[in-house]
Amino acid sequence: MKRANQFNVRPRFTEEREVFKRWLDASASLWNETNYARRQAFLSGSNESVWDAETGALGGKYKAALSSSVAQQIIRKNSESWRSFLSLNEKYHAGKLDEKPSPPGYWGNEDDGRVLRTYVRNDQYTIELGERSRLEVPIGSELKDELGLNRNQRLRVEVSGDPKWSGEQGRLELVYDELADTFRAFQPVTVDDSQLDSPLASHEAALDVGANNLVACTVSTGSQYLYKGRGQFERFRETTHRIAELQSRLEGQRKTSKRIDCLYRKRTSRRNHAQDSLVRDLVERLYDEGVSTLYVGDIKGVLSTHWSARVNEKTHNFWAYRRFINRLECVCEEYGITVEEESEVWTSQECPECGERDDTVRHEDTLTCPCGFEGHADLVASKSFLRRQTTAVGSMARPVYLKWNNHDWREHHSPPSLVETTANEAYTNQSTTVHGGNIALGDSDD
């Protein structure tokens, strides 16, 4: 099983910091030149293979800054990206893939800003943990001379962080986070199953995933959790509008700028931080309740398009459903919780009192039925979804409502209004999926 430790890397002096940045920048330059040569071969229409590009010469060009091993890892990582693309491209032309894949992209440029990143082979770095934790990485002779290091020394920098996993270390990834002005290190680790937890009991839970409310969860013990999402989506949308405004001002053939790239990264970083924190908070609560199985909606082949442009924006860009599920499965595995994807069609429209589907009306967070039932639509959907999987569902306790404060999820005691609205989503009894189920949220590349 693979997991990852994360550290903040903190060069001590200005000169050390500048050398570290130049090391990452040289990696970006090598990636871009390698990628350019391969893209030219691929797009030329000739019989030239992408593997004919002179990557060995490029590696030698940057060896003085990067070291031979790091230069090799950058080229190898680029090769992995091209193999993945060529495999997907072959499936696309064979009719096995609907969307045409794009060749690997560049890590930015000097005018519009680079993505400063590099990779270090697993046997070429060491991390020492203790009172003053250290990371040692190889750099080229040119940069060693600037720091007064001899040819056998490596660059040694301070790191901070509390690693959760121990085991066989993998290839280290180092990234400069421009938004936080911080260097980060991601260390893949292969761990054995003995480091995993086991469920405390055999209860079950089900999730309804949305955008206004990011997650509604019902547990067979009777507990319910609702994670609100309107604030995050509105902030996401404001940033999107700002990006569009800046793009409209670009001159000539330019498609982006440093400011636009920064906004894209900020938008994604905010979303991912809230999403990852939500998953961790939810799974820890479920573990404490003794949940061993968690059901989530199976969205394969469900959503093509939605009647509301605003909902499409939420589903395809904001929530990044597939990323969420992957993260959920990863964290649940730590706690020994099994994740199962099942069909959840009609759960967002089915009345829990009489079973009516066609004549129920959903307005924002409210589900009403001619029989007189009225309740919170997302909590009702998660409860109905759970009841399809098990009959052992206890009486419902008061739901726990959680809000994001830009750092973590906090409980608040006032439930959201059942008529809390946004302008573009009015009364409807239309299905939110092609086949009548919940919104199937698309993945996002941003």
The pLDDT value recorded for residue 432 is 34
Report the distance separating Cα 382 and Cα 364, nearest Å.
Answer: 16
The pLDDT value recorded for residue 400 is 93
- Per-residue CA distances from 137 to 4, 117, 140, 187, 365 (Å): 18, 14, 10, 13, 52
Per-residue pLDDT tens over the stretch 300-315: 533 433 434 455 555 5
Report the distance separating Cα 394 and Cα 205, nearest Å.
Answer: 11
Residue-by-residue pLDDT tens, the chain, 446 positions: 788 888 999 998 899 999 999 999 999 999 999 999 999 888 886 666 888 878 888 989 999 999 999 999 999 999 999 999 999 999 999 988 888 888 998 887 665 556 789 999 999 999 998 878 999 999 999 999 999 999 999 999 999 988 888 889 999 999 987 767 889 999 999 887 776 678 888 899 999 887 678 899 999 999 999 998 888 888 888 998 999 899 888 887 777 887 888 888 888 888 888 899 999 999 999 999 999 999 998 755 334 334 344 555 555 567 778 888 889 998 998 888 999 988 777 777 888 888 888 888 877 778 889 898 888 888 888 988 998 888 677 788 889 999 998 888 998 765 544 433 333 333 333 333 333 333 223 333 34
| Closest C-alpha to 101, from 111, 109, 93 | 93
Do 105 and 256 form a contact (C-beta atoms < 8 A)? no
Report the distance separating Cα 420 and Cα 277, nearest Å.
Answer: 25
The pLDDT value recorded for residue 22 is 93
The pLDDT value recorded for residue 146 is 92
Do 82 and 38 form a contact (C-beta atoms < 8 A)? yes
| Closest C-alpha to 233, from 209, 207, 267 | 267
pTM over 0.75: no
The pLDDT value recorded for residue 278 is 94
> Which structural domains are found in the chain, ordered by start?
2-195 (no CATH), 203-232+270-412 (3.30.420.140)
Per-residue pLDDT tens over the stretch 316-357: 567 778 888 889 998 998 888 999 988 777 777 888 888 888
Report the distance separating Cα 323 and Cα 269, nearest Å.
Answer: 13
Report the distance separating Cα 87 and Cα 176, nearest Å.
Answer: 30
- Per-residue CA distances from 251 to 102, 119, 256 (Å): 25, 35, 10
The pLDDT value recorded for residue 313 is 54
